Chains A and B, each alone.
Chain A
Amino acid sequence: MSAVSTLAAYVDGVGFLGPGLADWPAAARVLSGEARWERAPTALPPPQCLPSAERRRTGAPVRLTLAVGLEASAHAGADPASLAAVFSSSGGDGENCHEICQVLASGDRQLSPTRFHNSVHNAAAGYWGIATGATTAANALCAHDASFAAGLLEALCQVAVERTGVILITYDTSCPEPMHSARPIPDACGVALVLRPAAGAASLARLEASWSAECADRMEDDALERLRAAIPAARSLPLLALLARQRTGRVLVDYLDDTRLAVQVSPCR
C-alpha cells in the first residue's frame, strides 16, 4: 500500500456479539481489562426490524448481523439506510448449507425455496436491506480465515474512493456435524464498524491501514486469544481492544498467509 497515505477512515460506531459478550459495551469492558471474560454461548436476539413473514425465514447469520449492524449504527447516530454496506463472512450460513446437502443426498431432492434463496453468501446483506430500507450498495465477501481484514480493506477502499459512510459487518456462525468437524467454528461471533471519510461528533478513532509482513497481534489473555484464533470474525479483537481502551497504537490484523493489515489507531477523544 506504499502509494497510499490516505487509506484511512473514522470509526463512528461499533457493534459486537460473541460468546459471553452480549454487546459492544460488554465486549469493551472485557477488552479494556475492566471485567473478566465469562465464557457463555452466544445469545442471538430475535431478528429486529424484519416483517414477520421474513422473520420466520431467517437463520443465525441474519439475527447476528442485524444485531451488530443496528448496534453500531445506533452507536454512531447513523441511519443505517444512509450507509453503504460491506458484509464479510468466512462461511456464510453453514446450517442452511448442511440442510440443503442433506436433502440433495436423500432420495427426494425437493429443496425448500426459502432454504435455496437463503443459501446465497449475501443472504444476510439482502435481509439487512429489507430490514433497514438501505438501497445503497451492499457487498458480500469471503476470504476464509482472512475475512475480517478483507472486509475492512474493502470498506476502507469504499470510504477513500467513494467518500461515503460504510458499515462493515463481519460474522461467522458454527455449522452442525458432519461439517463442523471439517470447519470447527465453535460459536457465532459478529462485529460491525461504522466508518466515515471525515471526523464528526460521533467519531471514536481514526484508522489508517498499510501492509505488513510481521506476525499478527495476539490477545494477551489466553482465553481471549483462543477465541481470536477460533473464529475468523474474532480476528478483529486486537483492533477492538485498542478502540475499547481509547489508546493510540498500531495493531497487526491477521490477513492472508504472508500478509497482515497494519492498522494505526488514533483516538478522537
Chain B
Amino acid sequence: MTALALTSFTATSAIGRGLAATLASLRAQRSGLAPCRFETVTLATCVGEVAGVDEVQLPRALGEFQCRNNRLAWLGLTQDGFSAAVAECAARHGRKRIGVFLGTSTSGILETEMAYRHRDPSSGALPREFRYRGAHNTFSLAAFAQQALELSGPAVVISTACSSSAKAFASARRAIEAGVIDAAVVGGVDSLCLTTLYGFHSLQLVSRTPCRPFDTARDGISIGEAAAFALLERPGSSLDAHTVLLTGTGESSDAYHMSSPPPDGRGARAAMQQALAAAALAPEDIEYINFHGTGTAGNDAAEGRAVAGVLGSEIPGSSTKGATGHTLGAAGALEAVICAVALQAQLMPAGINTREVDPALPVRYLRENRLGRLSRVMSNSFGFGGANCSLIFARAG
C-alpha cells in the first residue's frame, strides 16, 4: 500500500487531555484507572474515566448531538490544534475532499439507557427530549464530527466492537488510495455506559482491580473511555523525519465465536501477516508491538501465541490498557496515537500494573519504559464477532 502521513493527531483518555499530558503519563508510567464511581453503577471494578466530560459545552449549533460520547468527541477535537489542522487541510483540498471515518461501539447509548428509566408511566413512551439520530444512533459520532469540522465529504462510522477505530484507518486509507478523497479524519470515540459495564460483567470478563494484561494472575478488563483522532493525508514531497506514517493495515475474521478468539490466535495472525505484506516489511522490521492486551485469560493467551508466531518471541511489546483501560471502540485509534507518540518520543511505553509476566506467553513484555531508536511499530485490535485489525506505523526518517 501507499504510505499515508498522520499530519495531525490527538488523544484524550484517562491518562490525559491531549498529547503532552498523554506523553507525560506514559513517561511517568501512570495509570488513569480508579474505582468506578460512574453514574449509578454499583459494580466493584475500576474504570478509566475522562475527567470533566459532563462539563464540556457543545457549540449551540451542535445541540442536537448532546450526549456523553459527543461531548468527549468535542473535548478530543479541541486538543492539540487538531480542528485547525483539519480546517487548513480543507482549505487546501476542499471540504468535499476530506472524509470522516470514525469508530465507536457505544455512541450515545448512555442517553438511551437513561431515557428508559424515565418512560411515561402510562404510555411507556420515551421522554420527549430523547434524540435517536443525534445521540442514540451509531452514526451520530461521524455526523457530529463532520458538522463540527465543517466537512462535507463521505462520512461513516465503522462499528466492529473493539477493533472499530483501527478498521477506520483501513477504510480511510482505501478511500484515499481509490482517489475518492484526498484526506481523512480518522479516529474513535467510546464512552462509559451501563451496557458495556454490566455487559462485560455478565460475561465475567471484568477485573475488580486495575487490569493487568499479560500477568500470570490477570483476571479481566478495566473499561475506559477515550477520544482519539488523526488526519491522514498523502505524504508531501518534503517529509520531516518526525512525521509518522501509516504503512500497513491488515484485517481478518475469526469465523469462530462471538466473544472469544480461537486459542491459537489464527485470526490475529492473519491480520498481522497482512499488515506486514501491505507495508512490504519482514517480521524482524517491527521493533515494538502495542498489544490488544485486554487482560482476560483467553484473549492474552491467544494474542501471545499469535504474536510470537508471526513476529517471534523476542519482540518487545506492551498493552497500554493498564494505563488507559480498555476503551473498546476507541481503543484502535487511541493506541494508534500512542504508537505515533512513541515513535516521535522514541519511547516504548511500559505495560503497567502487570507484576509477573505470564511465562506461558512467549513475548518480551515490557514492564518498564524503554528508550531507544524506534522506527516501525505495530498495533493490534481485536473485537467481538472475531473482527481483527493490525496497523503498522513508521517514522518518515
Contacts and interface: CB of A to CB of B under 8 A. Distances in A.
A144 B254 contact: no
A32 interface: no
Given A104-B116, A157-B180, A182-B130, A125 B160 contact: yes
Contacts of B133: 144
A140 B119 CA distance: 31
Contacts of B252: 135-137
Nearest to A87: B160
Contacts of B179: 1, 3-4, 7
Nearest to A136: B253
A129 B199 contact: no
B182 to A, nearest CB: 8
B160 A129 contact: no
Contacts of A92: 138, 159
Interface stretch (B29-37, B149-157, B315-323): B149-157
Given A120-B159, A121-B159, A123-B258, A143 B142 contact: yes
Contacts of B194: 104, 109
Looking at chain B's contact residues, the main secondary structure is: mixed
Interface residues of B, number: 65
A136 B179 CA distance: 24
A180 to B, nearest CB: 10
A118 to B, nearest CB: 7
A135 B384 contact: no
A91 B119 CA distance: 21
A111 B384 contact: no
Contacts of B132: 179, 182-183
Given A121-B138, A135-B253, A178 B152 contact: no
B383 A119 contact: no
Contacts of B385: 120, 122-123, 125-127, 129, 138, 140
22 contacts: A4-B178, A90-B139, A91-B138, A105-B117, A113-B199, A113-B259, A119-B195, A119-B199, A120-B383, A127-B258, A129-B256, A130-B258, A133-B255, A135-B255, A138-B251, A144-B143, A150-B156, A157-B178, A160-B178, A178-B119, A182-B132, A256-B152
Interface of A: 1, 3-4, 7, 54, 57, 81, 85, 90-92, 97, 100-102, 104-105, 109-113, 115-123, 125-127, 129-130, 132-144, 146-147, 150, 153-154, 156-158, 160-162, 177-179, 181-183, 211, 256, 258-259
